[in-house]
Amino acid sequence: MKWAALIAGLFAGTAGAMGLGGGAVLIIHLALFTDTPQLESQGINLLFFIPIALAAVTVYAIKKNIRWRLVLKTAVWGLVGSAAGLMLTDSIGGDITGKIFGGLLIIMGGLEIFGKKEKPLDKKAEK
């Protein structure tokens, strides 16, 4: 199982650094291969991504790929959503949370496979 942890960590870290939600990989690994309960897996995932996020933000900031005003506006609502999600998770429990998480992964995967491809944004037109 050490190889599974190594592979899961590498995939989760790489995806997370690119902003692609590597938590899905890590949570699935923890839940399936280490018998870690869903809520504990989510907590571990959050701690796992703090150093990865700091490293990725540093690189993105150096390359001037962050719109800080938009980040601040979005972060406020992200904190509200995070608090609401935590309260909801506490009230419905880990089993239902796991099923909701799995369902969302299936939906997101389907949208990625079968959804329309968006045209790349022109960075100059965006500003």
pLDDT in tens, 85-126: 888 888 887 788 878 878 988 998 888 888 877 766 655 555
**Distance, CA of 76 to CA of 8 (rounded, Å):** 30
Q: What is the DSSP letter of 120?
A: P
Global pTM reads 0.52
Q: Is pLDDT larger for residue 79 or for residue 23?
A: 79
Q: Over 60: is that where the pLDDT of 51 sits?
A: yes
Give ∠ CA 75-76-81 in degrees, rounded to 5.
Answer: 90
Proportion of the chain above pLDDT 70, given as a percent: 84
